[in-house]
Amino acid sequence: MIRILRCGEVPRKEIFARTLPTADVTDAVAAIVADVRARGDEALRDYTERFDGPRLEALAVTEEEFAAAMAEVGEEFLGILRRAAANIRRFHENQKRSGFLVGGGAEGVVVGQKVTPLDRVGLYVPGGTAAYPSTVLMDAIPAKIAGCPEVVMVTPPGRDGRIAPVILAAARTAGVDRVFKVGGAQAVAALAYGTESVPRADKIVGPGNAYVAEAKRQVFGQVAIDMIAGPSEILIVADGKTDPRHAAADLLSQAEHDRMASAVLVTDSEALARAVAGELERQIPLLERAEIARASIDGNGKIIVADDLSEAVDIANEIAPEHLELCVDDPFALLDRIRHAGSVFLGRNCPEAMGDYFAGPNHTLPTGGTARFSSPLSVDDFVKKTQFTYYTREALAAAAGDVAAFARREGLTAHARSALIRTEDGI
């Protein structure tokens, strides 16, 4: 059963479970990465057979497989995918950046910045017993909006050698260019270094298990990554008017993800705290993933009774949760005080699930307190910026003395020479 605590009975830094008792997979992943670099597609086939079951000759999904998946999913769910994709596009279109051109503060000087999409990005999408078409939409659509010429996706096949039809339908809806039947650390290695079939990417994004996370960590530097994601988190700040059924359901929406997920309610109402605890006990047995939700709630779940909503907001800022719900009368009044959260859900009619699937803002979010300094996945993740500078001869002559003096102060006389040698006075 979930624990009910007064504010201060547990240190704020311990409210979320962020120490993960996971096995060290570093050496195993390093071996897989090295093997894929050495043997390419043959290593991918071997690992796919070993971990997923099928022995595949062709790793790429064919057009016939795409067509069959679209037919199997059916028009009703395809319509839902399209509506969700439209909302995601509408939101992320507002993130597009343009370059800029400005004067350098003196006549004859031009400085600026150009924005260039990455040439190729790789999406990792979990497979196996889980099929998350929402992840495909959230990761692929911002990349396409950014203008990336090629978006490729890797995802593990089932034992029958097929990719879940909803995953392929989402990929087609989002505009993914190519899909490959490979998962795990080996898929990350393939995207980082390239194989005969899988092209090398400039950036890898998407969630995965401990092996995938470690592989992303190991190839970082060879290729860019989005983040190292941890277990799901939700923090609900609620007042006494909140329906306890709704609060309990929202806590469980994250608890069902993972035994290590953290689901926490902070409220100024002891009555609500007790009611939500009771609702959790009633609702958990109704879930298909009741065993996972039970482990999460009993192991990591908490209800914190704060003195007031101001204290609750302070707790939220210190925790920096992945998902933050503000279930209060005037959530916008609290929004300005929120400094650290991945995504904020405002009011009593906006469960976190709206953000997972449909509303438009991205659901790939910083976890583990990293919302203190990082952001949700966005169009910015799929572009790079390049600066440029132009000086006329006259503008250089006017500034060369200052540049040379600066360079000499740092002991870099060749820098000074490179500026002065272009002026009439020389050096």
Query: Pick from 136, 116, 186: which is nearest to 156 by CA?
Result: 186
Residues 255 and 286 in one domain: yes
Q: What is the pLDDT of residue 19?
A: 61
Distance CA 119, CA 136 (A): 19
State both tokens at 388.
């440029």
Domain assignment present for 35: no
| Measured CA angle at 60 (ends 55, 63), to 5 deg | 120
End-to-end CA distance of the chain: 79
Give percent of the chain above pLDDT 90: 92
Domain assignment present for 21: no
Query: Pick from 45, 51, 64, 26: which is nearest to 195 by CA?
Result: 45
Known active-site residue 322? yes
- Full-model pTM: 0.94
Q: Kindly state the average pLDDT of the residues 270-291.
A: 98
Distance CA 257, CA 180 (A): 25
Lowest mean pLDDT among 80-94, 122-136, 393-407, 409-423: 122-136
For 103-122, how does the pLDDT look when each residue is reduced to its tens digit (9 = 90+)? 867 899 999 999 999 999 99
Burial of 305 (0-12, 13-18, 19+ CB in 10 A): buried
Domain assignment present for 262: yes
Give the residue from 225, 246, 279 where a domain finishes.
225
Residue type, 194: G
Q: Answer yes or no: are the C-beta atoms of 201 and 191 closer than 8 Å.
A: yes
Q: Give the model's confidence band at 13: pLDDT under 50 very low, under 70 low, under 90 confident, else very high.
A: confident
Lowest mean pLDDT among 22-36, 259-273, 277-291: 22-36
For 345-398, how does the pLDDT look when each residue is reduced to its tens digit (9 = 90+)? 999 999 999 999 999 999 999 999 999 999 999 999 999 999 999 999 999 999
Domain assignment present for 109: no
- Active-site option among 323, 325, 352, 363: 323
Distance CA 90, CA 250 (A): 26
Residues 87 and 157 in one domain: yes
Helix, strand, coil tally for the chain in percent (to 5)? 45, 15, 35
Domain assignment present for 82: yes
Q: Answer yes or no: are the C-beta atoms of 176 and 123 closer than 8 Å.
A: yes
Q: Residue 129 sits in a domain of what CATH number?
A: 3.40.50.1980
Q: Answer yes or no: are the C-beta atoms of 288 and 129 closer than 8 Å.
A: no
More confident residue, 84 or 106: 84
Q: Would you say residue 427 has pLDDT above 60?
A: no
Residues 219 and 144 in one domain: yes
More confident residue, 86 or 128: 86
Q: Would you say residue 288 has pLDDT above 60?
A: yes
Give the residue from 181, 208, 225 where a domain finishes.
225
Q: Kindly state the average pLDDT of the residues 131-140.
A: 96
DSSP structure class, residue 1 = -
Distance CA 171, CA 122 (A): 12
Q: Answer yes or no: are the C-beta atoms of 247 and 327 closer than 8 Å.
A: yes
- Active-site option among 233, 279, 322, 325: 322
Q: What is the pLDDT of residue 12?
A: 87
Q: What is the pLDDT of residue 18?
A: 73
- b or e along 104-135 (b: 16 or more beta carbons within 10 Å of the residue's beta carbon)? eeeebbeeeeebebbebbbbbbbbbeebbbbb
Query: Pick from 308, 327, 332, 350: which is nearest to 235 by CA?
Result: 327
Q: Which residues pair with 409 in a beta bridge?
A: none
Q: Give the model's confidence band at 129: pLDDT under 50 very low, under 70 low, under 90 confident, else very high.
A: low
Domain assignment present for 382: no
Give the residue from 167, 196, 225 where a domain finishes.
225
Residues 73 and 215 in one domain: yes
Q: Would you say residue 426 has pLDDT above 80?
A: no
Residues 191 and 71 in one domain: yes
The total number of structural domains in the chain stands at 3
Residues 132 and 246 in one domain: no
Domain assignment present for 29: no
Q: Would you say residue 250 has pLDDT above 80?
A: yes
Q: Kindly state the average pLDDT of the residues 120-130.
A: 88
Strands 109-117 and 100-103: antiparallel
Residues 234 and 221 in one domain: no
Residues 367 and 257 in one domain: yes
Report the C-alpha dihedral over residues 96, 78, 355, 164, rounded to 10 degrees: -100
Q: What is the pLDDT of residue 128?
A: 66
Domain assignment present for 60: yes
Q: What is the pLDDT of residue 105?
A: 76
Q: What is the pLDDT of residue 229?
A: 85
Residues 59 and 190 in one domain: yes
Q: What is the pLDDT of residue 352?
A: 97
Q: Report the SS3 class of residue 369.
A: coil
Residues 68 and 192 in one domain: yes
Residues 86 and 190 in one domain: yes
Q: What is the pLDDT of residue 127?
A: 85
Which range, 23-32, 123-132, 263-272, is most confident?
Answer: 263-272
Lowest mean pLDDT among 33-37, 105-109, 175-179: 105-109
Burial of 159 (0-12, 13-18, 19+ CB in 10 A): exposed
Burial of 202 (0-12, 13-18, 19+ CB in 10 A): middle
Q: Which residues pair with 180 in a beta bridge?
A: 60, 154
Q: Would you say residue 21 has pLDDT above 60?
A: no
Q: What is the pLDDT of residue 138?
A: 98
Residues ≥6 apart with Cβ < 8 Å to 17 = 231, 260, 262, 299, 300
Please give the residue range of the domain that contains residue 364.
3-16+230-373
Residues 11 and 91 in one domain: no
Q: Kindly state the average pLDDT of the residues 202-230.
A: 95
Q: Answer yes or no: are the C-beta atoms of 180 and 187 closer than 8 Å.
A: yes
Q: What is the pLDDT of residue 230?
A: 87
Q: What is the pLDDT of residue 410?
A: 98
Q: Report the SS3 class of residue 365.
A: coil
Q: How many CB atoms lie within 10 A of CB 414?
A: 7
With residue 383 as reference, give the H or E element that holds it: strand 383-391
